[in-house]
Amino acid sequence: MVNEPKKVKLGKGKVTHNVRAAQAILQYGVGAMVDFPDQTLMTAAPEYWSENDNELRRIREELRLIRDERLERQLGVDYFAIPHDKSHPNEQGIAYTRFPRWYFCPKCRRLEPLSFWLKEYRQKGGTRAEEKPDMEKPVCLGEACRGPRGKGINLVPARIVVACDAGHIDDFPWIEWVHAVAKKDVCGDPHLKFKTGVNSSAGLEGLTVSCENENCKAKATLEHSFDKNGLRRIPGYDCHGRMPWRNERESCGRIPQAKQRGASVVYYPKVDSSLVIPPYSDRLRTKIISSAEYIDFLSKVKDNDKYNPGTREVFINTRLNDWVSELSSSVHIEAEIIGPILITLLTQFDTEGENDASSEVYRQAEYSALNGSMLQTSVDDDFEREERNGDEYNIRGVSQVALLHKIREVRALVGFTRLDPASTGSLGMPPQDAGRFQCVKKPDTRWYPGYEVRGEGIFIQFDNDFIVNWLATNDHVESQITKLRKNAALNERLSGMKIDPKFIFLHTLSHLLIQRLSFESGYNSASLRERIYCDLDHPEFPMCGIFIYTACGDSEGTLGGLVRQGLPGRLRKVFASALESARWCSNDPVCGESGGQGRNAMNLAACHACALLPETSCEEFNVLLDRTLLIGRITDRNVGFFSSWLDGISKEESPNAL
């Protein structure tokens, strides 16, 4: 459904308006614009996805619950959810609102706000307008545009919007712009036309907006409208703080920037992800906590804790038999099995949560599960690990390899930024990014949109002391890190960025391995994903490892092709081939000797030709990369960590033939 301010429902075709779960969390998440065949819509906040005020009924009928107890506590919510797909009988779908709200007619060239087109439609639309007064498909019914059967010309959404770095977005100020540039006051009854120049190669200066009011006739091109401070040409104009996805406004005062509607900078989703690890990965446990009944029981326990503190066990015991019976009928599991699990879940539930843990502290538990420090007791589990001894691989610095035959990852859309992405992944969000971040939900909403993927992966743990000592005693490493720190100092927003040589070492190696594994395993690089485990703020818990895994939400993630590449005879060849390929970049020597390139000049010897990955694969938006830490410089190969090891491999056999 499409939600207008008064929650008016507009029809959506199950084929033409279909968005996959991953798209609803990533590029088409809350606050993003989606180009459907007949119009452009903006994904509304999750509060608008259902008109059912009963939470349990909504869970049973409209939502598919996604559970990860660790991530829920970290983010302070009760669960994650995504609407049922189009094949489900109770499918309600994701809610949308109309944005942008300015449209133009490609025939008569009129450019007007939605309110104008709605008024015209209701006046001239006849019986169609009487039956569907909200104009499901925006059309122009002007005299020159109406067909013989009364059908009009489909309107085109305005291709330009304005956004500020606080996450607000609004329609381009068409009326204000044309009058300000023409140095005229805004007339009392402005009606605009949008025309393109005869010369198809003309830029913004070839796009003209004119006011057709007979007493005005203001006219202006869009030249300089896309400049960073281009909208300052409108006296007194600043950001109105509009949030169409919630139909709200807030005070702002920043100067917005004009951007194309489909530009990537208009929407950067902030997605938090988590590996589901033991004991939370037990499938029986997951089935129980994903039921509406369990959500109901837990809600009652929380209410009791609030009003009758200290009586939780008594409260549960007096109701346990009824709850077990009800839950057993719902999930079709014997009561004898459910009982002990339900008691454990409800009595040990942590009402305080863990939402004060940093990104690094949160990942320490994952690191322990991946390297085998955390015991796994369940047989039917979404976390299946096979440990291999690092000595089997004979790869410099590698102390352990673990093959993950089964994993489950939960991804939750928590917010977004505009104009510039916020840091994410291992580094967490710096304080200076908090003011640019827009949360997708209201504070009292107890869930985030989310989805899950299942797959496989390879975990590689390095000898932390060996790596740290090598980095600390290598003059080339210090020289490279100094360059990055100087580059960061030039940008105020990067002042708190953590630039650590061990992280850059692990991050760059991860990128090179993903590129090579995409050739060897049959997955494309966009289907592989990285997780970097590096202690930046907590040296008392050293972490030094990388986890490369499949990032697909379908069966492609469980074919076994990636795990197979982690076997001793194969992974060593993958390492050698990846590093040998990285020795030469098609952009060398420019890339290899770079003092700063990429986003904010935060890469050194790393470009699209050698070390960058698709954005879905990299945790850090392809920054903090440098090949020379691994394979040395063009003029001095010996300064790389793997240089001597790779030379030894080359003497045995050519990696290019592997």
pLDDT for the residue 377 = 66
pLDDT for the residue 198 = 64
Q: How far apart are CA 136 and CA 149, in angstroms?
A: 18
Over residues 150-161, mean pLDDT = 90
Q: Is residue 489 part of a domain?
A: yes
pLDDT at residue 2 tops 50: no
Share of the chain above pLDDT 90, in %: 57
DSSP state of 287: H
Please tell me the total count of domains within the chain.
Answer: 1
Lowest mean pLDDT among 195-204, 290-299, 377-386, 442-451: 195-204
Q: Is residue 338 part of a domain?
A: no
pLDDT for the residue 128 = 84
pLDDT band for position 8 (50/70/90)? very low
Q: Is residue 170 part of a domain?
A: no
Distance of alpha carbon 452 from the chain centroid: 13
- pLDDT tens-digit map of 238-275: 999 999 999 999 999 899 999 999 999 999 999 999 99
Q: How far apart are CA 404 and CA 372, in angstroms?
A: 11
Domain range for residue 369? Answer: 359-657
- pLDDT tens-digit map of 24-35: 788 889 999 999
- Better-scored residue on pLDDT, 53 or 125: 125
> Is there a contact between 639 and 444 (Cβ–Cβ < 8 Å)?
no
pLDDT band for position 423 (50/70/90)? low
Q: Is residue 616 part of a domain?
A: yes
pLDDT at residue 160 tops 90: yes
3-state secondary structure of 643: helix
Max Cα distance, the chain (Å): 85
pLDDT at residue 357 tops 90: no
pLDDT for the residue 431 = 55
- pLDDT tens-digit map of 454-513: 999 999 999 999 999 999 999 999 999 999 999 999 887 787 788 999 999 999 999 999
pLDDT for the residue 63 = 80
pLDDT for the residue 56 = 67
- pLDDT tens-digit map of 506-544: 999 999 999 999 988 888 888 899 999 999 888 899 999
pLDDT at residue 15 tops 50: no
Written as six digits, the tokens of 492 are 């105020």
Q: Is residue 468 part of a domain?
A: yes
pLDDT for the residue 154 = 93
Radius of gyration of the chain (CA): 28
Within 497-554, residue ranges assigned H as helices are 501-521
Over residues 441-453, mean pLDDT = 91
Instruction: Return the HEC string of 587-605.
Output: CCCCCCCCCCECHHHCECC
Mean pLDDT of the chain: 86
pLDDT at residue 4 tops 60: no
Q: How far apart are CA 624 and CA 611, in angstroms?
A: 11
Over residues 585-602, mean pLDDT = 93
Q: How far apart are CA 153 and CA 156, in angstroms?
A: 9
The 10 Å CB-count burial string (b at 16+, else e) for 333-350 is eeeeebbebbbebbeeee
Q: Is residue 254 part of a domain?
A: no
Q: Is residue 352 part of a domain?
A: no
Q: Is residue 386 part of a domain?
A: yes
